[in-house]
Structure 1
Amino acid sequence: MKHLLWLTLFAVLSLTLGSCAPKPDQQTAIQERYLFSPDSLLVHIKTLSSDAFEGRRTGTPGAEKAKNYIIEKFSRLQVLPFVPDYQQPFSFTARDKTYNGVNVLGLIKGTQHPDDYIVISAHYDHEGIKNNQIYNGADDDASGTAALFAFAEYFEKHPPEHSVILAAFDAEELGLAGSHHFVDNSIVPLTNIKLNINMDMISRSDNNELYAVGTAYNDTLKEVISQYKNPENFALLMGHDGKDGLQNWTMSSDHAPFHKKDIPFLYFGVADHKDYHKPTDDFENIHPEFYNKAVKTVISIFSTLDGIRF
């Protein structure tokens, strides 16, 4: 009788536990919450902001090393070259000096609108070495550059409807020279570039706040951002567009040349922190949990916008 009771209890428990276990479609949904590898994201930002890259100043061996790192990762993540060998070289003069820069441009072909483009950008250059100190630029902007690889991982399982140009711009710190060259020498008609999503400083915030700039200039973008549901301990805010009394970031990074060409843009960034443009902007000072949420947020916003015809 005891054996019969135990068998009956085991059967009941098995049915109960089985009903609580995720079904195959539920398991897929749970797994797809992880749109990219958080560990890889941290490896990339740590590597690019290490002393080995010497602050990634435009035209230096450190910048060359960063360029090669980005190309290698794009290739490994099956990102197509948008230009030969991913490289768009350019020359410019800034501060009475001539520089040679290189934008790194990858392509993900769209499944529904292959001739319309969304440019997802970040700048890979930083301040280099000053007074024998390396300015590693972990937040500014190894954070955005590493996020480009997270997007590439996402696209492996979620191909975009629009074609996407993953743009690692050079010489942002020298007057946005790389992004200016990109739009002034556009490889595709500018009318075919429907949106720029720019990421510059997205890996740390004492208040867990990420700003989305650009909504003041486009009602569709404003609606999408306003409807975004924030994860716990994270806030996506609109502002810094010159219309709210806050510092105006409309022209502050590589989204500015797109805006000047009347191309809608969203700039994702955090408020300036104590290590901004200082040699202490190191990997050890980023906020990994916030950074992970920030990248997931930008990807989520992209996913929504990718389904809209601009």
Structure 2
Amino acid sequence: MTFISRHLLAAPAFALLLAAAAPAFADPGDKALDDVRILSADDMQGRAPGTPGSEKARAYILSRFAQIGLSPIGETFEQPFSFAKRDGTAVKGINLIARIKGTDAGGKAMVVSAHYDHLGVRDGQIYNGADDNASGVAGLLAVAEAFKEKAPKHDVIFAVVDAEEGGLRGARAFVANPPVPLETIALNVNFDMLSKNAKNELYVAGTAPFPGLKPILVKVATTAKVTLKLGHDTDADGKENNWSNQSDHYAFGEKGVPWVYFGVEDHPEYHKPTDDFASVPQDFFKRSVATVVQASLALERDLGTATGR
């Protein structure tokens, strides 16, 4: 989650080796845990944009794209962009974009997004970002595996975006230069912080601004493996508790694309060096991943009617 709130075609060769060497997991939640462990390890150096740690994280994610069998849109998975930091320093960010084609020729698409960057190294301490947002990337990869196992009706685009922290740079680069016409994107499903909540609660925001999504998500909540709560999408409890602009879905919303956002409330490790794999409650996270997979499948089934696009 950003501060305002709270190729395989061009991949390095060792990414292919990672994919080939990856162990088999009977439980998708176990694989998601492994994704979080690897992406939040010290050798990723906090995954700050434009750093060797960010490059290493991309190589791992691309290896997972290969393992799942995802395809790029065009010649490469990589969508580079540039931005300037507050001190004027130019930084190159890189989004990773993949797609599973739908079985129907309706032209609509659903974008599943999660940012892979975090805060890097500050004052000698590594900000590993296990919850923020290795957990969201792991959730996205689990959703991709589910759609690869059973093809969706509509195209599903997977956007693992860079430089969310402090400005939603990757998401804004995506919507400024979308791989498909923006008007064909019926919904953005965004994951940011899925792994830590002492009350067994996962929130989904977006049903207040997009009420057509509410019946789908209420139904999911009745059988979800965690307590799935709707909210954090109005100013009723104060602007600070309205998550409508607090992660990458906001970039889609700015362009008129409906969105839903899955995440947990802030916790003591948020944006701290202690947000590492050791602090992830593994059982809750596995059930949270199962819930976002269930919800994503349900949202895709009713894509057009739910959003009116």
TM above 0.5:
yes
Q: Distance in 2 between matches of 1:233 and 1:69?
A: 28
Q: Which residue of 2 aligns with 1:254?
A: 248
Equivalent of 2:171 in 179, 203, 206: 179
Q: Distance in 2 between matches of 1:113 and 1:305?
A: 18
Q: Distance in 2 between matches of 1:83 and 1:102?
A: 16
Query: Could you tell me which amino acid in structure 1 is paired with residue 237 of structure 2?
Result: G
Q: How does 1:32-181 map onto structure 2 within 5 Å? A: 37-96=28-87, 97-113=89-105, 115-181=107-173
Asked if the contact 2:78/2:97 (under 8 Å) is kept, the reply is: yes
Could you say if the C-alpha distance between residues 168 and 35 of structure 1 is closer, same or farther in structure 2, counting changes exceeding 3 Å?
farther
Q: How does 1:278-297 map onto structure 2 within 5 Å? A: 278-297=272-291
Paired residue secondary structure (1:118): strand
Could you say if the C-alpha distance between residues 175 and 155 of structure 1 is closer, same or farther in structure 2, counting changes exceeding 3 Å?
same
Q: Percent identity?
A: 44
Query: Could you tell me which amino acid in structure 1 is paired with residue 280 of structure 2?
Result: I
Asked if the contact 1:106/1:165 (under 8 Å) is kept, the reply is: yes
Query: Could you tell me which amino acid in structure 1 is paired with residue 165 of structure 2?
Result: E
Asked if the contact 2:29/2:290 (under 8 Å) is kept, the reply is: no
Paired residue secondary structure (1:272): coil
Could you say if the C-alpha distance between residues 232 and 159 of structure 1 is closer, same or farther in structure 2, counting changes exceeding 3 Å?
closer
Could you say if the C-alpha distance between residues 216 and 113 of structure 1 is closer, same or farther in structure 2, counting changes exceeding 3 Å?
farther
Paired residue secondary structure (1:80): coil
Paired residue secondary structure (2:197): coil
Are residues 1:265 and 2:284 paired? no
Q: Distance in 1 between matches of 2:100 and 2:137?
A: 16
Q: How does 1:176-255 map onto structure 2 within 5 Å? A: 176-231=168-223, 234-246=226-238, 247-255=241-249
Paired residue secondary structure (2:243): coil
> Displacement, 1:230?
4.0
> Displacement, 1:146?
1.2
Q: Distance in 2 between matches of 1:293 and 1:183?
A: 31
Asked if the contact 1:51/1:136 (under 8 Å) is kept, the reply is: yes
What is the RMSD computed on CA atoms of the aligned residues?
Answer: 1.7
> Displacement, 1:115?
2.3
Deviations 1:253-306 (A, max 9, x none): 000011111111000000000000000001011111111111111111121221
Q: How does 1:3-14 map onto structure 2 within 5 Å? A: none
User: Greater Rg, structure 1 or structure 2?
Assistant: 1
Asked if the contact 1:200/1:269 (under 8 Å) is kept, the reply is: yes
Could you say if the C-alpha distance between residues 149 and 36 of structure 1 is closer, same or farther in structure 2, counting changes exceeding 3 Å?
farther
Q: Distance in 1 between matches of 2:26 and 2:111?
A: 19
> Displacement, 1:226?
2.0
Number of residue pairs matched by the alignment:
277
Q: Distance in 1 between matches of 2:243 and 2:62?
A: 29
Q: Unpaired runs of 5+ in structure 2?
A: 1-24
Asked which structure has the greater RCO (Cα within 8 Å, sep 6+), the reply is: 2
Query: Could you tell me which amino acid in structure 2 is paired with residue 211 of structure 1?
Result: Y
Q: Which residue of 2 aligns with 1:4?
A: none
Q: After the TM superposition, which segments of 4 or more aligned residues of structure 1 sit over 6 Å from their partners?
A: none
**Larger deviation, residues 238-247 vs 271-280:** 238-247
> Displacement, 1:195?
0.3
Q: Unpaired runs of 5+ in structure 1?
A: 1-33
Paired residue secondary structure (2:256): coil
Asked if the contact 1:94/1:175 (under 8 Å) is kept, the reply is: no
Query: Could you tell me which amino acid in structure 1 is paired with residue 299 of structure 2?
Result: L
> Displacement, 1:137?
0.1
**Larger deviation, residues 64-73 vs 293-302:** 293-302
Asked if the contact 2:225/2:291 (under 8 Å) is kept, the reply is: no
Paired residue secondary structure (2:76): helix
